[in-house]
Amino acid sequence: MRLFGTDGIRGVAGTYPLDASTLTRIGQVIHEDLGAGVVVVGRDTRPSGRQICEQVLGMLKDADVLDLGIVPTPAVACETKSRHADLGIMITASHNPAKDNGLKFFGSDGFKISRERAKQWEQRVAQTPEISSRTSLSCQTVSATHYEDLVRSHFQQDWGGLKVIFDLAHGAAVNMVPRVCRSIGLDAQYLAGSRDGERINAGVGALHPHKLAEQVLSQRADVGFAFDGDADRLVVVDRHGNCVPGDVVMYILAQCYVREGKNLDRLFGTVLSGQGLEDALRGMNIALERTPVGDQHILDGLRSTGALFGGEPSGHLIQMDLLPAGDGLLAALRILRHLTQDSDLIVKARQAVPSYPTYESNIQVNHKPDIHDVPALRDLAMTIERALDGTGRWVLRYSGTEPLLRVFAETKNMDTVKPMLDSFCRIAKEVLNG
């Protein structure tokens, strides 16, 4: 069975691949790789996090384990590199509900491990026999001092009295963000700031910004920022209580780079990045390079070209001049820095990025065949592609972490294409659940 998805390992805690047997075998494979190496580990607030930590790391008989406790995913990436560790492990299921959990892995360079290394581990875990015993976990508790120093070194400034609200999603950001904001002189308010992991992402955070929007309006705040469960994702709410589209947030950050005099001739998005963003960036002489969905693909593009910035409409935003990982806090602070200089920054960006009609649907599936191997879907897909030729585009992809087929389309002629898309989704729901 498949172990790694698009972003590490993820599932329902206590079931495959997060059952005790699989987790101990994962730990054994890591032990064989690292021996007496150094491992940095962090987690979000989910109740299952500590047990998963013990089951995996209990196999690392010779390694020095540095436990950061509850921290955002990017803090693990930063500390892994800064402490010259051999591996970083973040225990989180990101935006998923509390019953889920997962594992993200970082190499000694602070980047997520390669797909090749993940595939090797997956094969070796499958070949590793059942393990009946393990050692008790022994680790050293440390603070994410290098990450906090990174934030302070770039964002210690006068914030001009901005009124800011952060939605912490009852997740990994609950300790770090308030502490760091105090240290840089940013006086902010916080929602969903408890460490109650049973409530992580429950009606709050990046996937549910409505409560943040209500607070921004009622408190007359200048801006609101929502994180997901591990704080590697950012959603922005403007002063009018409107959720800012992900493509507009990308454009805002591109503007920030230009205002700072940084050389930004290209940035990386995904196949879900809109035509409006591409058109707006072209007006700034910035090319939009599209990759497959997933921040690993964004990172591949950034590393291979030396580009500074990339991200996804969902809110994963990677600023290579700061950290080679998606980081909600660092993105929020960069936007805030420029809001102190231009209070209409977000309003102007919304006007600059044109919006074209879009279509999105998530279809629950029981299996994931190649669409071209399903005649009923293949033929209709070809009809849709012909209808979109020259007027728009569409993307079909299976989720790497959930049993979903995601359908996305963008076209100026949506009235013509929408009935075809509706038919495709209806047939897909029938065929892929048979």
**409-426: per-residue pLDDT in tens?**
999 889 999 999 999 999
pLDDT at 412: 85
Mean pLDDT of 346-358: 94
User: Which is the catalytic residue, given 21, 48, 82, 94?
Assistant: 94
- Give residue 15's identity as a one-letter amino acid code: T
pLDDT at 133: 65
What is each CA distance from 32 to 29, 35, 61, 83, in whole angstroms? 5, 6, 10, 21
Mean pLDDT of 147-151: 98
Beta bridge partners of 102: 10
Topology adopted by domain 9-143: Alpha-D-Glucose-1,6-Bisphosphate; Chain A, domain 3 (3.40.120)
Nearest to 170 by CA among 148, 203, 143: 203
pLDDT confidence bin for 61, thresholds 50/70/90:
confident
Domain 244-355 has CATH 3.40.50.720: no
Mean pLDDT of 275-301: 94
Mean pLDDT, the chain, whole residue set: 95
Which residue matches tokens 């002063």? 239
User: Contact at 8 Å (CB) between 10 and 128?
Assistant: no
Mean pLDDT of 209-218: 98
CATH code for 156-241? Answer: 3.40.120.10
pLDDT at 152: 98
pLDDT confidence bin for 1, thresholds 50/70/90:
confident
Domain boundaries, the chain: 9-143, 156-241, 244-355, 358-431
Mean pLDDT of 28-50: 96
Cβ atoms < 10 Å from Cβ of 186: 21
pLDDT at 282: 95
Q: What's 401's DSSP letter?
A: S
pLDDT tens per residue, range 355-372: 889 999 999 999 999 999
Q: Is 94 a catalytic residue?
A: yes
- Give residue 224's identity as a one-letter amino acid code: G
Give one word for 286, left, alpha or beta, with left for phi > 0 and alpha for psi -120 to 50.
beta
Mean pLDDT of 60-65: 91
Nearest to 106 by CA among 316, 295, 306: 295
Element (H, E) at 88: strand 87-91
pLDDT tens per residue, range 218-251: 999 999 999 999 999 999 999 999 999 999 999 9
What is each CA distance from 250 to 151, 210, 273, 349, 365, in whole angstroms? 20, 21, 9, 10, 31
pLDDT tens per residue, range 106-139: 999 999 999 999 999 999 999 999 887 666 778 9
Residue 342 predicted with pLDDT over 90: yes
Class of 358-431 in CATH? alpha beta
pLDDT at 135: 67
Common-topology check for domains 156-241 and 244-355: yes
CA distance linking residue 334 with residue 253, whole number of Å? 7
CA distance linking residue 90 with residue 320, whole number of Å? 20
Q: Could you tell me the two tokens for 95?
A: 């935006």
Return the higher-pLDDT residue of 413 and 157.
Answer: 157
- Please report, rounded to a whole number, the percentage of residues in the chain having pLDDT higher than 90: 90
- Report the interhelical angle of 73-82 vs 145-155 (nearest 10°): 100
Mean pLDDT of 348-352: 97
CA distance linking residue 346 with residue 287, whole number of Å? 21
